[in-house]
A and B are shown apart, each in its own frame.
Chain A
């Protein structure tokens, strides 16, 4: 039982981070049909912004705020203006290829300007352990879980309880109609990119103490979050959250109780099952398009 709790809490913490990143995938897809294959690198990069700010003498809390601000600016605004806007008018595929190229570029930039070596990254809370029913749960895991849940809840409230959020949802569901209703569609799309910039920065702060800051981090993170978004439903924020949590828990339980050697295969098996039985994802909705 103690082992199970141990695996569950740890899986939940990892899954919550996958969920944060996956939410970014779904937000961008819904509002601008952007599949961002550099999303993993977007999570890797803010850790280096923060470390650079700390090297300049900023304390961690200030460096984290600077990191979030820089991420919103570069990974939100600049990404949209320089890559998404010019490429999107040529269709989804050129944009996908552009984001793949961007992911390679960001990886190499992080390596060349910082280091190829993994860097230790400060944790949000001091690393102490709490004993729960025989399991040892670190305060770090609990903090990761708490911050990830808080970020998702805040996003949920923004999207569902504010006028701005409803405008963004309307833009996602039907941009033409939203425009007729007087919603500034371009601005709403921009907001989703800025929100994605903030989400990846938060995910980076949460995951880097565990993953360590390294230029290759985006590879695993991006893939895991992409799978999570598909499993949960690419067009639903709550689907992405569910997908992330399923993936995090499944990874731990399958490694412990089935086979650690084949742990990488289980998420893919789930993915195949979802595509066969429920192609829109567990919580996704079927999209119909006029052709």
Chain B
């Protein structure tokens, strides 16, 4: 009898009838993230936020009784590698894919996930991601087309600038941000008097600061990654830049503040997500994160955490695991903290997969990010 059972099992396996081992007791939600290379900081934050959420959900029995199975694959911060990793996980028929964080990687992965009709919950912020009509891509933070109007209003109304200098990192993220910012400046009749591209991983900013200083702008908008932002701030302080330094989320992040030291004081700008938000649920999450991983998470940690709870909420709303149905259900969906407390802040996903929620204006004071104003959702 045992022998017969064994033969039947072998035949069933050979015919592919048994399916993947995670088919029944778990749900396969792989993550493709930047764990090495230039994107290791945001990728690691996203991963840790995600792991925190997964462990919490699995400890309570999973989603619809199935535990989340999330292997994590490294993109090495390279778009080509990211695409290969996405292809690899698609071969195992995932329910949803988490990541990547780098916009350049998201832009090359999207075609694959769209073709396979598998939703992809990404950390990328480049405007182009949600402008391609892909119904399977969903953001976890503002796209640049949402954040730049907010920062532009602040430059006009808060700083009252008539001219700005723009310093940006020359990659998909930086170029997208720069293009949207310049567009918003033009619509507000604010003159862009210096437009300075920098390299990812650049260390010496003396030439860039010399150019910006010579432009004599009323405000300087800085749109680069964490470490480059810190190096720029140090050089700007050294060369005695007096104009207000304005940024979007990254520039006011705690990592930049720690790395730049006193040079970060006085930096102002718009913050899409922050653990310093005056919201108890966010602060509770930040404390849990710090306790488990022993560092202060940045906005990418919040993205990873809320991404998993977004998947949980949508799936439970549908009452089944259906990738195509997920995409249909998630468009136009609003999740409030009352419905799902771990979503942390009320969030709405529109027909393009863009997210809308409250955001903040902040300032760096004595080496700490201070939130000075909460901005309402754009849809309000």
Q: Does A256 contact B261, Cβ atoms closer than 8 Å?
A: no
Q: Does B239 contact A6, Cβ atoms closer than 8 Å?
A: yes
Q: Does A260 contact B211, Cβ atoms closer than 8 Å?
A: yes
Q: A6-B210, A212-B259 are in contact. Are A116 and B44 (CB under 8 A)?
A: yes
> With an 8 A cutoff between CB atoms, is A107 at the interface?
yes
Q: Mark A97-114, 1 if CB is under 8 A from B, else 0.
A: 000000000011001000
Contacts of B2 in A (CB 8 A): none
Contacts of A11 in B (CB 8 A): 204, 206
Question: Quick check: which of B58-66, B194-202, B274-282, B310-318 contacts chain A, the rest being far away?
Answer: B194-202
Q: Mark B237-272, 1 if CB is under 8 A from A, else 0.
A: 011100000000000000100110100000000000
Q: A3-B214, A116-B35, A260-B197 are in contact. Are A220 and B255 (CB under 8 A)?
A: no
Contacts of A115 in B (CB 8 A): 295
Across the interface, B230 reaches (CB within 8 A) one of A212, A216, A220, namely A212
Contacts of A212 in B (CB 8 A): 227, 230-231, 259
B261: nearest chain-A partner, CB-CB: A120
Size of the B side of the interface (Cβ < 8 Å), in residues, is 34
Contacts of A118 in B (CB 8 A): 41, 226-227, 230, 255, 259
Q: Does A14 contact B197, Cβ atoms closer than 8 Å?
A: no
Across the interface, B238 reaches (CB within 8 A) one of A14, A138, A216, namely A138
> With an 8 A cutoff between CB atoms, is A264 at the interface?
yes
Least Cβ distance of B211 to chain A in Å?
6
> With an 8 A cutoff between CB atoms, is B37 at the interface?
yes
> With an 8 A cutoff between CB atoms, is A10 at the interface?
yes
> With an 8 A cutoff between CB atoms, is A286 at the interface?
no
Contacts of A211 in B (CB 8 A): 203
A14: nearest chain-B partner, CB-CB: B204
In the bound complex, CA of A264 to CA of B231 (Å): 18
Q: A3-B214, A216-B201, A220-B201 are in contact. Are A252 and B40 (CB under 8 A)?
A: no
Across the interface, B210 reaches (CB within 8 A) one of A7, A215, A261, namely A7
Q: Does A263 contact B226, Cβ atoms closer than 8 Å?
A: no
In the bound complex, CA of A216 to CA of B203 (Å): 12
> With an 8 A cutoff between CB atoms, is A136 at the interface?
yes
Contacts of B36 in A (CB 8 A): 107-108, 111, 116, 215
B235: nearest chain-A partner, CB-CB: A10
> With an 8 A cutoff between CB atoms, is B111 at the interface?
no
Least Cβ distance of A9 to chain B in Å?
8
A256: nearest chain-B partner, CB-CB: B207
In the bound complex, CA of A251 to CA of B203 (Å): 11
> With an 8 A cutoff between CB atoms, is B81 at the interface?
no
Q: Does A256 contact B197, Cβ atoms closer than 8 Å?
A: no
Across the interface, B204 reaches (CB within 8 A) one of A10, A111, A120, namely A10
In the bound complex, CA of A117 to CA of B210 (Å): 28
B196: nearest chain-A partner, CB-CB: A260
> With an 8 A cutoff between CB atoms, is A53 at the interface?
no
Least Cβ distance of A30 to chain B in Å?
29
B44: nearest chain-A partner, CB-CB: A116
Q: Mark A113-157, 1 if CB is under 8 A from B, else 0.
A: 001111010000000010000001010000000000000000000
Least Cβ distance of B297 to chain A in Å?
11
> With an 8 A cutoff between CB atoms, is A210 at the interface?
yes
Q: Does B295 contact A117, Cβ atoms closer than 8 Å?
A: yes
In the bound complex, CA of A211 to CA of B202 (Å): 9
Least Cβ distance of A255 to chain B in Å?
4
Least Cβ distance of A112 to chain B in Å?
10
> With an 8 A cutoff between CB atoms, is B51 at the interface?
no
Q: A116-B36, A260-B197 are in contact. Are A210 and B203 (CB under 8 A)?
A: yes
> With an 8 A cutoff between CB atoms, is A238 at the interface?
no
Q: A210-B231, A260-B211 are in contact. Are A120 and B259 (CB under 8 A)?
A: yes
Q: Does B203 contact A261, Cβ atoms closer than 8 Å?
A: no
In the bound complex, CA of A250 to CA of B338 (Å): 58
> With an 8 A cutoff between CB atoms, is A214 at the interface?
yes
B47: nearest chain-A partner, CB-CB: A116
> With an 8 A cutoff between CB atoms, is B179 at the interface?
no
Least Cβ distance of A244 to chain B in Å?
14
Q: Does A252 contact B206, Cβ atoms closer than 8 Å?
A: yes
Q: Does B44 contact A117, Cβ atoms closer than 8 Å?
A: yes
Across the interface, A214 reaches (CB within 8 A) one of B227, B239, B261, namely B227
In the bound complex, CA of A255 to CA of B198 (Å): 9
Across the interface, A7 reaches (CB within 8 A) one of B197, B203, B206, namely B206
Q: A118-B227, A120-B261, A136-B238 are in contact. Are A216 and B38 (CB under 8 A)?
A: yes
> With an 8 A cutoff between CB atoms, is A253 at the interface?
yes
Q: Does A116 contact B201, Cβ atoms closer than 8 Å?
A: no
> With an 8 A cutoff between CB atoms, is B170 at the interface?
yes
> With an 8 A cutoff between CB atoms, is B172 at the interface?
no
Q: Does A117 contact B255, Cβ atoms closer than 8 Å?
A: yes
In the bound complex, CA of A253 to CA of B207 (Å): 7
Binding site for B on A (CB under 8 A): 3, 6-7, 10-11, 14, 107-108, 111, 115-118, 120, 129, 136, 138, 210-212, 214-216, 219-220, 251-253, 255-256, 260-261, 263-264
Q: What are 8 A-to-B residue pairs whose CB atoms are below 8 Å?
A: A7-B207, A107-B36, A117-B295, A118-B41, A118-B259, A211-B203, A212-B227, A264-B199
Taking A118-B227, A136-B238, A260-B211 as given, write out 10 further A-B residue pairs in contact, using a Cβ cutoff of 8 Å, ordered by the A residue number.
Answer: A6-B210, A7-B210, A10-B204, A10-B206, A116-B41, A117-B255, A120-B259, A129-B238, A220-B203, A255-B207
